[in-house]
Chains A and B, each alone.
Chain A
Amino acid sequence: MSLAQRISRAPEAIAGITILICLMLVALSAPLLFPGDPLAISGTPLLRPFVDATHWLGTDRLGRDVLAGVVHGARTSLLVGLVSAAAAIVLGSVVGTLAGFAGGLLDELLMRVTDAFQTVPGFLMALAFVSTIGPSLMVVVTAIALASWTAPARLVRAEVLSIRERDYVASARAIGMHPLKIAFREILPNALPPVLGLSAIIVAGAILTEAALSFLGLGDPNRVTWGGMIAEGRAVLRSAPFLSIIPGVALVLTVLGVYLAGEGLVEATSRRSRA
């Protein structure tokens, strides 16, 4: 049974992947659907949803279109989520592979650094990082990556420790392969699958961290973010709750989609390894 077939048997995976594909399509087509700056003031302030044909989801305190914000916000959320998760996994994998393969002093050193990062709560670290350097998209991505690379690092190291004793590694050594080549060509690819299972959680976590940072006013102010929209809606929560609810629902759907898709993938791959 192929991977695609196995995935198609898991309803949660289908749901997750469908949500994600829709989101990606929306995010990619945002400039076509809503050309121009989504922060532009385009209508009467505080229009309610579903009363105005040009502003389906209404407008915010300044008259900015909520739907345009949600659609462009999907770009920011997915971009930050994917890029920072990728950066965290790459950084974590490199550190974990080096530590596990080299062992000895380097292992000790890298693991103590990992410990040091793990003792600080990830969100606090991202918060401190962004508030010192100043909020912009690159800084937010770096902050989230810095806050989440430790889990993949530990996982990869554990995998590497078991793989490096295998026969094919010994034979690679015997034919005189460069140690770094062995580490990254032979060992890392085999240590990755469990990390990819973790990736869904990292992406979901990154999206939530970005939203939380924006909610606290530490997102990039020149971009629409869902967290920022929720925060701005908070001042009128009692009189116009839709301003917070709509981006909130978008956030929940995205995180749910990422999580379900990730779960389904893990399930499917583990079924294959059992088979």
Chain B
Amino acid sequence: MMMIHAVSRRRFLAGSSLLLASGAMLKFGFAQSAPQRGGQLIVAADSEPRNLNPAIVASNGVFFIASKVVEPLAEASFEGPDGLAPRLAVSWSGADDGLSATFKLREGVTWHDGAPFTSQDVAFSAMNLWKPLQNLGRTIFKDLEAVDTPDDLTAVFRFSQPTPFQLIRNALPAVTSVVPKHIYEEGDIASNPANLQPVGTGPFKFAEHRPGEYYRLVRNDAYWADDLPQLDEIIYRVLADRAAAAGALEAEEIQLAAFSMVPLADLARIDQVDDIEIKPEGYEALTYQLVVEINHRRRELADLRVRQAIAHAIDTDFVVKTIFLGYASPATGPVPSNDPQFYTPDVPTYPFDVARANTLLDEAGYKRDANGTRFSLKLLPAPYFNETRQFGAYLRQALASVGIDAEIVNNDAAAHQKAVYTDHAFDLAVAPPVYRGDPAISTTILVQSDLPAGVPFSNQGGYSNPEMDALIAKAATTLDPGERVALYKQFQAMVKADLPLINVAEWGFITVARSSVQNIGNTPRWAVSNWADTWINT
């Protein structure tokens, strides 16, 4: 009876969902077959970066706007070989000795001011911006010696030390935004007006910025890809208040809010609204991790058993379900599980176990006093996201359950960075580091020792492990991709065994958009890609 009931129920559900699916398919199929040209896309923006030059500031806040104007050599892709799709470069290869990399560039590309794009621009950008000025390029191109330009469409990067081509390739989308030499060659690069009014080769031209109101980008009619872009205009409406984004979407004042501008807690409600859709796709190569940074200068925290106890005291399941409302997954280590090349689940784990945590702390010699407290420490949650602050509040409770009294110190973004990464005035901190497709780009720096104070998002907790440093150094100069991957798998296991920091969860962002906006989330870095094929179904 039960069985029959269940079957009939399932059949009913299957039938109804098939019906729904076919309707959606019809609509989708129609949409796919006939992209419409023209129209204006209005997007919510939550910040106005002080510098819009992605060749200097490679950050998501800058890319969100500038990636439509300034293009990299290659962009991340779901289908392309090595997860890449060509942009300003059409092909690339690395020498076997790791001392050079050759890029063939696209023909017939012009800058927005009409000047032709050549290998000179690539060489100039690499030597004068990416290597000396860019936050990420400084590390990746530290051994870049020169860029040869045998002809207008070939650029050969020469390195003084063997540099893994796999790393260069993985870094292409984020670090290789090419800017025009003829605009930047005179005067101080950092104060060039094009840093605020970017000139590029991309599908959209920068038109204007009204501070506090909007950015306007217009269609580049001379774009190298025929018939693209689809849109005539993109407007970024500045909505400083994140809570306003949901309302603006419902009122059709904006058509798209990316980077989880609509708070996670509001998604369930807004999903019920007709003609508004929630898209978690398009952030696969922009995975953030929720991490507990540890100051190893504190005697208690220098003890591995105490760090293990803290890891055991955190209920990852609660963090994922309650703080992230399911829009996240538990982190097993410093490389997120959606990374196709380096990830390994084969690492030590610390399941949620308060009793085990208490035993470890007892063994470490930190007994509870009359108030049930073993020791006190300062906890600094990063203020960048709601979730990092909420996790701070949760962590305080989780620590209290094992007898550690944590005092929360709240700071604004600037004060938080100074306190953690310059002054080291913390015991524990909550940080959201980004994983950028290769552990050598922005991940190994989180545990490597001997970094100068003041480098943001790096190991400033005083952790120093010669074995770890040796492994990182070896991987950085290993050229064979297979061997490199094996070394980084070893790295993940070592991080989890020694706990220089605790990786708790990983998450991508959510885009919320009107149903009329098409081709959302079709690349792994969609929110910070060029949106050339985005169109509006009227």
Using CB atoms and an 8 Å cutoff, list the residues of chain A in contact with chain B.
37, 39-41, 45, 61-63, 131, 134-135, 217-218, 221-222, 234-240
Residues of chain B with a CB closer than 8 A to A40's CB = 397, 400
Known pairs A41-B318, A134-B411, A238-B269; list 9 more (Cβ under 8 Å).
A37-B400, A61-B265, A62-B322, A217-B410, A218-B410, A235-B266, A236-B266, A239-B265, A239-B269
Q: Which of B269, B397, B408 is close to A221, meaning CB atoms less than 8 Å apart? A: B408
Residues of chain B with a CB closer than 8 A to A236's CB = 263, 265-266
- Cβ-defined contact, A235 with B393, below 8 A: no
Judged by DSSP, the binding face of B is: helix
| B353 at interface, CB cutoff 8 A | no
Q: Which of A37, A41, A63, A235 is close to B263, meaning CB atoms less than 8 Å apart? A: A235
Residue ID in chain B nearest A234 by CB atoms: B243
| B78 at interface, CB cutoff 8 A | no
- Cβ-defined contact, A238 with B397, below 8 A: no
Q: Which of B322, B408, B409 is close to A45, meaning CB atoms less than 8 Å apart? A: B322
B418 to chain A, nearest CB (A): 12
A193 to chain B, nearest CB (A): 41
- Cβ-defined contact, A61 with B390, below 8 A: yes
Using CB atoms and an 8 Å cutoff, list the residues of chain B in contact with chain A.
243, 246, 263, 265-266, 268-269, 318, 322-323, 383, 386, 390, 392-394, 396-397, 400, 407-412, 415
Question: Measured between alpha carbons, how far is A37 from B408 in the docked complex, in Å?
Answer: 14
A192 to chain B, nearest CB (A): 38
Question: Measured between alpha carbons, how far is A131 from B393 in the docked complex, in Å?
Answer: 20
B505 to chain A, nearest CB (A): 15
Residues of chain B with a CB closer than 8 A to A63's CB = 322
Residues of chain A with a CB closer than 8 A to B408's CB = 221-222
Residues of chain B with a CB closer than 8 A to A234's CB = 243
- Cβ-defined contact, B390 with A62, below 8 A: yes
Question: Measured between alpha carbons, how far is A222 from B411 in the docked complex, in Å?
Answer: 13
Residues of chain A with a CB closer than 8 A to B393's CB = 39, 62, 221
Question: Measured between alpha carbons, how far is A218 from B393 in the docked complex, in Å?
Answer: 15
Residues of chain A with a CB closer than 8 A to B392's CB = 221
Residues of chain B with a CB closer than 8 A to A37's CB = 397, 400
Residue ID in chain A nearest B406 by CB atoms: A222
Residue ID in chain A nearest B264 by CB atoms: A235
- Cβ-defined contact, B266 with A238, below 8 A: yes
The contact sample of 8 A-B pairs, CB cut-off 8 A, is A39-B393, A40-B400, A63-B322, A134-B409, A134-B410, A135-B410, A222-B408, A235-B243
Residue ID in chain B nearest A131 by CB atoms: B412
Question: Measured between alpha carbons, how far is A135 from B409 in the docked complex, in Å?
Answer: 8
Residue ID in chain B nearest A132 by CB atoms: B415
Question: Measured between alpha carbons, how far is A61 from B391 in the docked complex, in Å?
Answer: 11
- Cβ-defined contact, B322 with A235, below 8 A: no
Residue ID in chain A nearest B410 by CB atoms: A221
Question: Measured between alpha carbons, how far is A134 from B392 in the docked complex, in Å?
Answer: 17
Question: Measured between alpha carbons, how far is A41 from B393 in the docked complex, in Å?
Answer: 10
- Cβ-defined contact, A221 with B409, below 8 A: yes
- Cβ-defined contact, A61 with B243, below 8 A: no
Residues of chain A with a CB closer than 8 A to B415's CB = 134
Question: Measured between alpha carbons, how far is A234 from B397 in the docked complex, in Å?
Answer: 22
Question: Measured between alpha carbons, how far is A116 from B367 in the docked complex, in Å?
Answer: 53
Residues of chain B with a CB closer than 8 A to A240's CB = 265
A45 to chain B, nearest CB (A): 5
Residues of chain A with a CB closer than 8 A to B409's CB = 134, 221
Question: Measured between alpha carbons, how far is A234 from B242 in the docked complex, in Å?
Answer: 11
Question: Measured between alpha carbons, how far is A218 from B383 in the docked complex, in Å?
Answer: 12
Residue ID in chain B nearest A235 by CB atoms: B263
- Cβ-defined contact, A41 with B412, below 8 A: no
Residues of chain B with a CB closer than 8 A to A239's CB = 265-266, 268-269
